[in-house]
Amino acid sequence: MHKTMYLPCGGEANFDHSSGISYRCEMCNAVLGSVGQPRSCREEADKWAAYEKAGMWSWDYDRGEPGERRKQLASE
Ligand SMILES: [Zn+2]
């Protein structure tokens, strides 16, 4: 069972059953990680991936909002 992911670009991504391996952003109508993915869609996702890699913040794809860490930082 594949669930909907809520992306930083503001769109929702659902499992693309036609490809069987990827997710498609409904708002941008693009497969995540594909060359056809618009910059506005990819840059947001890349930004959060970089934050997460740096051990800073992470994006909560289940809720469609920044994870706990950012909220703590923002309230300081
Ligand atoms: Zn998007």
Domain boundaries along the sequence of the chain: 5-74
| pLDDT for the residue numbered 8 | 96
Ligand 1 midpoint to CA 8 (Å): 8
Q: What is d(CA 69, CA 50) in angstroms, rounded to the nearest whole number?
A: 14
| pLDDT for the residue numbered 18 | 85
Helices (H) and strands (E) in the chain, counts: 2, 6
| pLDDT for the residue numbered 32 | 92
Is the overall model pTM greater than 0.85, yes or no? no
Ligand 1 midpoint to CA 26 (Å): 7
| pLDDT for the residue numbered 17 | 87
**Tens of pLDDT, residue by residue, the chain (76 residues):** 678 999 999 999 999 888 899 999 999 999 998 999 999 999 999 999 999 999 888 999 999 999 876 555 555 5
Q: What is d(CA 50, CA 43) in angstroms, rounded to the nearest whole number?
A: 10
Ligand 1 midpoint to CA 45 (Å): 8
- SS3 per residue for 39-68: HHHHHHHHHHHHHHHCCCCCEECCCCEECH
